[in-house]
Chains A and B, each alone.
Chain A
Amino acid sequence: MISPSVICFSVQESFLEIMLTHNLCEWTSADICFMNKPVQIASKVIMILLVSGPIVLMAQENKTERETRIKKSDTPLEILNVLEPYLKESTRIKYYKEIDGDHRSFEVKFKWKSKRYSIEFLEDVRLEDIEVTIPFETIDQGSKEQILLKLQTYDRYKVRKTQKQYSSDQSSAAETISKAMRGNNEITIRYEIVLDTKSKGVWSTTEMTFDQSGQFLFEKQVIKRSEDHILY
Chain B
Amino acid sequence: MRRFSVFAILVISAMKCLGQQEKVRFAWEGGAALDYQVGKYWTFNSSVWKRSIWSTSDFGNDKSLNGNLAFLEVNQFVTQSINRTKLSVGYKYRWVDPRSGSKAFEHRLTQQMAHTHFEDIIRLVSRIRIEQRIRDTSFAHRYRYRFSIDFPLSGENIDPGECYMVGTNEILFEAVNDEQDTWENRSSINLGYLISSNQKLELSFTYRLEDLNIETNGILFINTGYFISLK
Interface residues of A (CB under 8 A from B): 4, 8, 19, 23-27, 31, 34-35, 38-39, 42, 46, 49-50, 53-54, 57-58, 60-61, 63, 65-69, 96, 158, 160-161, 196, 198, 200-203, 223, 225-232
- A54 and B196 within 8 A (CB): yes
- B123 and A46 within 8 A (CB): no
Q: Which residue in chain B gives the minimum CB-CB distance to A54? A: B199
B104-128 interface bits toward A, Cβ cutoff 8 Å, 1 = contact, 0 = none = 0000000010100001100101010
Of B35, B66, B125, B155, the residue contacting A69 (CB under 8 A) is: B155
- B196 and A66 within 8 A (CB): no
Q: Which residue in chain B gives the minimum CB-CB distance to A5? A: B226
Of A31, A39, A158, A230, the residue contacting B148 (CB under 8 A) is: A230
User: What's the minimum C-beta distance from A79 to chain B, rounded to whole angstroms?
Assistant: 18
CA distance A53 to B159 in the complex (A): 19
Of A39, A201, A227, A232, the residue contacting B40 (CB under 8 A) is: A201
Given contacts A39-B48, A53-B199, 16 further A-B contacts (CB under 8 A): A4-B195, A25-B65, A49-B34, A53-B198, A57-B198, A58-B196, A60-B197, A61-B196, A63-B197, A196-B84, A200-B40, A225-B158, A229-B227, A231-B77, A231-B86, A232-B88
User: What's the minimum C-beta distance from A6 to chain B, rounded to whole angstroms?
Assistant: 12
User: What's the minimum C-beta distance from A37 to chain B, rounded to whole angstroms?
Assistant: 8
With known contacts A57-B198, A229-B166, A229-B192, A201–B67 Cβ distance under 8 A: no
Is B47 interfacial (CB 8 A cutoff)? yes
For A49, what are the chain B residues with a Cβ–Cβ distance below 8 Å?
34, 228
Is B64 interfacial (CB 8 A cutoff)? yes
For A201, what are the chain B residues with a Cβ–Cβ distance below 8 Å?
40-41
- A68 and B154 within 8 A (CB): yes
Is B81 interfacial (CB 8 A cutoff)? yes
Is B99 interfacial (CB 8 A cutoff)? yes
- A203 and B82 within 8 A (CB): yes
For B112, what are the chain A residues with a Cβ–Cβ distance below 8 Å?
231
Is B229 interfacial (CB 8 A cutoff)? yes
CA distance A196 to B119 in the complex (A): 12
For B86, what are the chain A residues with a Cβ–Cβ distance below 8 Å?
227, 231
Describe A's contact surface by its main secondary structure.
Answer: mixed
Can you list 17 pairs linking A and B with CB atoms under 8 Å apart?
A: A8-B226, A24-B66, A27-B99, A39-B48, A46-B48, A49-B228, A57-B199, A61-B198, A63-B197, A67-B159, A200-B40, A203-B83, A223-B197, A225-B123, A226-B158, A230-B150, A231-B79
- B41 and A202 within 8 A (CB): yes
- B83 and A196 within 8 A (CB): yes
CA distance A66 to B156 in the complex (A): 10
Describe B's contact surface by its main secondary structure.
Answer: strand
Of A19, A46, A67, the residue contacting B156 (CB under 8 A) is: A67
- B81 and A226 within 8 A (CB): no
For B50, what are the chain A residues with a Cβ–Cβ distance below 8 Å?
39
For B163, what are the chain A residues with a Cβ–Cβ distance below 8 Å?
none
CA distance A23 to B64 in the complex (A): 9
CA distance A107 to B190 in the complex (A): 29
CA distance A51 to B32 in the complex (A): 13
- B114 and A231 within 8 A (CB): yes
User: What's the minimum C-beta distance from A209 to chain B, rounded to whole angstroms?
Assistant: 19
Q: Which residue in chain A gives the minimum CB-CB distance to B40? A: A202
User: What's the minimum C-beta distance from A82 to chain B, rounded to whole angstroms?
Assistant: 23
Of A25, A60, A232, the residue contacting B45 (CB under 8 A) is: A232
CA distance A158 to B75 in the complex (A): 34
For A23, what are the chain B residues with a Cβ–Cβ distance below 8 Å?
64
- Which residues of B (123-153) have their CB < 8 Å from a CB of A? 123, 125, 127, 148, 150
Of B119, B150, B196, the residue contacting A229 (CB under 8 A) is: B150
- A42 and B45 within 8 A (CB): no
B65-82 interface bits toward A, Cβ cutoff 8 Å, 1 = contact, 0 = none = 111110010110101011
CA distance A98 to B168 in the complex (A): 31
- A68 and B199 within 8 A (CB): no
User: What's the minimum C-beta distance from A231 to chain B, rounded to whole angstroms?
Assistant: 5
User: What's the minimum C-beta distance from A111 to chain B, rounded to whole angstroms?
Assistant: 13
- A60 and B198 within 8 A (CB): yes
User: What's the minimum C-beta distance from A19 to chain B, rounded to whole angstroms?
Assistant: 7
- A67 and B157 within 8 A (CB): yes
User: What's the minimum C-beta distance from B195 to chain A, rounded to whole angstroms?
Assistant: 5
Q: Which residue in chain A gives the minimum CB-CB distance to B200? A: A226
